[in-house]
Amino acid sequence: MYGYIVPQKSTMSASDFVLYRSFYCGVCCETGRMYGQLPRFTTNYDFAFLSALLHDYGQANVVIEERPCVLNPKKKAILQSNELLKRIAAANIILCYQKADDGVVDGDGLKYRALRRMLRKPCKLAQSICPEVWERVKRSVKEQSAVEKSKTSSIDRAADPFASLMRDLPELILGVQTDDNLKSLCYNVGKFVYLADALDDLVDDRKHKRYNPFLLSMGEFKDRACFIKANREQLEFIFNGICGRAEECFSRMRFTQSYSLIRNIVFGGMRSKAKELLDSTKKLKPPRI
Amino acid sequence: MKDPYAVLGLDKSSSPEKLKSKYEELHEIYSEQRFKSGEEGNEGARKLQELEEAWVVISANIEQESRTSAFDGDFGNVDSLIRQGKYNEAQDILDSIQDRKGEWHYMQAIVFYKREWLTEAKTQLEMALREDPNNPKYRSSLDKLNLSMSGNGARNQMPNNGQTGNYGGYNNGQPPYGENGNYPPQQQPADNMANCLSSCCCAYCLTDCLCNAMRCC
């Protein structure tokens, strides 16, 4: 599900790239420090974005230090550990554990069992750091399950549980009330992630007879290319709408050190990812930034 | 504080048009008077300020009344709940209304829009227009929604192609060695899992040692 909220590297400045990577590496290092080496593989670009967003919104102390990394012996700019980063890493572990659990319940294979087993102990520790995130994620799982059981063909209704979780996550991580603009921005980002994943997984979901709101609402499926071509206008409407609302919310917010980075992701990254999904004839490969 | 309507020499029941025209009339008189010398000038300035303060209150009242009279009955309640951000309660009232004409679909579209359910909002506006094709309110709302969802904010961008490779083993679960899960051909299949596990353990220990040695994380 992760890797859909990425920057548009071609239009990104060198300093923003370093800043972005320091947030990404920050999540990775913090996860390694708190939970061990294996869970570091749960680091993802979507949480790097969330880290940048929350550090700026919460006016947290962003100290970037140059240290070597085990995967890259040259020194790299990495975000220094702080309380907010600990909570972000914990939230990521909880979400990844939940995704692995979903995979096991859906019968998606041994790899999800192994992942769930690996993340069990880290998740317990993460729960003790952010119990309210754990409770909120559990509620979201129940809501998602109810929506999928009802086999709703409404795209908005299908995306609502995950989008609502993303909307509430910043408040639970930061521990302060957030304003409507941040809530709406995160709601639309969450909706984008859910629907991008559903669009990416069209073929797999059809093959394994899994719930997919696009398959239920948009007519016959022969192959991915034909399906997208037949429903292009409606799909563009959906994704443009989400990106438009995210941009609107961004424009009403005030950012400081990460302004141009977050702007690049919201204005450039999201739209180009949507276009990539619609133009692709098969499932996207994981991005490499 | 003096009754704002009394400052204009009218009362609350006067129409908004009459109130506005009286305000403009008095504003002109006092604006000229304040530039006169002596006590008359001071009196003009004082009355002008009193008039402005009264008009702030009266115009706010006029706006409030025009808002509440735009929707009557249940829809007025729905409108009020939407303004307070109570979308669940607004939805409950809408669900309880059996007679679902154009205005019902319009209010439902607003609730959906506030909830960020743009596709559903568009569907409801289209249904409202089917009920009442000549309604300018429904037409302009649908046009605005279509415009905001048409991708006009998008700029020319290069497609994000050619970005391949692994970003962590979470999704693909591949062994740390070998490309695309191809094991060295001379090993027997029965040994593959054992080798994979032992290699994972080695990689884990190596990473841990390196981290401790470099004190990087």
For B113, other C-beta atoms within 10 Å of its C-beta total 19
Instruction: Please tell me whether residues B97 and B59 are part of one structural domain.
Output: no
Place of tokens 């919310």: A249
Lowest mean pLDDT among A4-13, A41-50, A228-237, B185-194: B185-194
Place of tokens 């996550």: A169
Contacts of residue B2, defined as CB under 8 A and 6 or more positions apart, other chains included, come to B50, B54
CA atoms within 13 A on the CB side of B42: 2
Which amino acid appears at position B59 of this protein?
Answer: S
Instruction: Please tell me whether residues B28 and B51 are part of one structural domain.
Output: yes
- pLDDT, position A143: 93
Residue B44 lies in a domain: yes
Say whether A157 and B168 touch across the interface (CB within 8 A): no
- pLDDT, position A212: 92
- pLDDT, position B176: 37
Span B193-202, pLDDT tens digits? 655 666 666 6
Question: A115 near A95, Cβ under 8 Å?
Answer: no
Instruction: Please tell me whether residues B29 and B83 are part of one structural domain.
Output: no
Residue B40 lies in a domain: yes
Instruction: Please tell me whether residues B82 and B144 are part of one structural domain.
Output: yes
Say whether A272 and B158 touch across the interface (CB within 8 A): yes
- pLDDT, position A154: 93
Residue B10 lies in a domain: yes
Tokens, residue B155: 């700029």
Instruction: Please tell me whether residues B61 and B24 are part of one structural domain.
Output: yes
Give chain B as a 3 state SS string: CCCHHHHHCCCCCCCHHHHHHHHHHHHHHHHHHCCCCHHHHHHHHHHHHHHHHHHHHHHHHHHHHHHHHHCCCHHHHHHHHHHCCCHHHHHHHHHHCCCCCHHHHHHHHHHHHHCCCHHHHHHHHHHHHHHCCCCHHHHHHHHHHHHHCCCCCCCCCCCCCCCCCCCCCCCCCCCCCCHHHCCCCCCCHHHHHHHHHHHHHHHHHHHHHHHHHHCCC
Q: Tell me how far apart the terminal alpha carbons of chain B are, to the nearest angstrom.
A: 67
- Whether the CB of B189 is below 8 Å from some CB of chain A: the reply is no
Q: How far apart are CA A218 and CA A205, in angstroms?
A: 14
Say whether A271 and B161 touch across the interface (CB within 8 A): no
Q: How far apart are CA B11 and CA A224, in angstroms?
A: 69
Which residue from A85, A109, A83 is spatially nearest to A28, judged by alpha carbons? A85
Residue B15 lies in a domain: yes
To the nearest whole Å, the CA of A150 is away from the closest chain B CA by: 17
- Whether the CB of B166 is below 8 Å from some CB of chain A: the reply is yes
Cβ-Cβ contacts under 8 Å between A and B: the total is: 139
CA atoms within 13 A on the CB side of B43: 7
Residue B170 lies in a domain: no
Question: A68 near A90, Cβ under 8 Å?
Answer: no
Instruction: Please tell me whether residues B112 and B141 are part of one structural domain.
Output: yes
Surface-to-core class of residue B121, CB atoms within 10 Å of its CB (0-12 exposed, 13-18 middle, 19+ buried): buried
Residue A20 lies in a domain: yes
Which residue from A30, A40, A26, A33 is spatially nearest to A119, judged by alpha carbons? A40
ipTM, two decimals: 0.86
Domain boundary among B48, B70, B92: B70
Which residue from B146, B143, B158 is spatially nearest to A238, judged by alpha carbons? B146
Residue A234 lies in a domain: yes
Q: Tell me how far apart the terminal alpha carbons of chain A are, to the nearest angstrom.
A: 17
Residue B155 lies in a domain: no
Range of the structural domain that residue A43 is part of? 9-279
User: B-chain residues within 8 Å CB-CB of A269?
Assistant: 160
Instruction: Please tell me whether residues B11 and B45 are part of one structural domain.
Output: yes
- pLDDT, position A86: 94
Which amino acid appears at position A110 of this protein?
Answer: L
Residue A200 lies in a domain: yes
Instruction: Please tell me whether residues B144 and B79 are part of one structural domain.
Output: yes
Q: How far apart are CA B186 and CA B188, in angstroms?
A: 7
- Whether the CB of A175 is below 8 Å from some CB of chain B: the reply is no
Residue A4 lies in a domain: no
Residue A284 lies in a domain: no
Q: How far apart are CA A241 and CA B149, in angstroms?
A: 4
Lowest mean pLDDT among A48-57, A68-77, B40-49: A68-77
Tokens, residue A275: 């276009």
Helix (H, G, I), strand (E, B) or coil at A75: strand
Q: How far apart are CA A167 and CA A184, in angstroms?
A: 7
Which residue from A285, A205, A273 is spatially nearest to A239, judged by alpha carbons? A273
Range of the structural domain that residue B205 is part of? 188-217
Which residue from B132, B134, B94 is spatially nearest to B110, judged by alpha carbons? B94
Q: How far apart are CA A56 and CA A262, in angstroms?
A: 10
Residue B172 lies in a domain: no
Residue A3 lies in a domain: no
- Whether the CB of B96 is below 8 Å from some CB of chain A: the reply is no
Place of tokens 């629907």: A195
Helices (H), A175-201: 180-200
Asked whether residue A72 carries a pLDDT value surpassing 80, the answer given is: no
Instruction: Please tell me whether residues B91 and B115 are part of one structural domain.
Output: yes
Question: A201 near A248, Cβ under 8 Å?
Answer: no
Asked whether residue A125 carries a pLDDT value surpassing 90, the answer given is: yes
Asked whether residue A264 carries a pLDDT value surpassing 90, the answer given is: yes
CATH of the domain at A187: 1.10.600.10
Instruction: Please tell me whether residues B45 and B81 are part of one structural domain.
Output: no
pLDDT-derived band at A61 (thresholds 50, 70, 90) equals confident
Say whether A41 and B210 touch across the interface (CB within 8 A): no
pLDDT-derived band at A287 (thresholds 50, 70, 90) equals confident
Instruction: Please tell me whether residues B42 and B96 are part of one structural domain.
Output: no
Instruction: Please tell me whether residues B140 and B79 are part of one structural domain.
Output: yes
Q: How far apart are CA A96 and CA A103, in angstroms?
A: 11
To the nearest whole Å, the CA of A251 is away from the closest chain B CA by: 12
Percentage of chain A lying above the pLDDT 70 cut: 98
pTM above 0.90, yes or no: no
- Whether the CB of B120 is below 8 Å from some CB of chain A: the reply is yes
Residue A35 lies in a domain: yes
Say whether B168 and A44 touch across the interface (CB within 8 A): yes
Residue B103 lies in a domain: yes
Q: How far apart are CA A82 and CA A287, in angstroms?
A: 27
- pLDDT, position B169: 27
Number of domains in chain A: 1
To the nearest whole Å, the CA of A213 is away from the closest chain B CA by: 13
DSSP A268: I
Number of domains in chain B: 3
Residue A2 lies in a domain: no
Q: How far apart are CA A171 and CA A130, in angstroms?
A: 12
Domain boundary among B70, B90, B124: B70
Question: A244 near B148, Cβ under 8 Å?
Answer: yes
DSSP A282: S
Dihedral sign, Cα of residue B203, residue B208, residue B212, residue B217: positive
Which residue positions in chain B have pLDDT lower than 70?
1, 64-72, 151-217
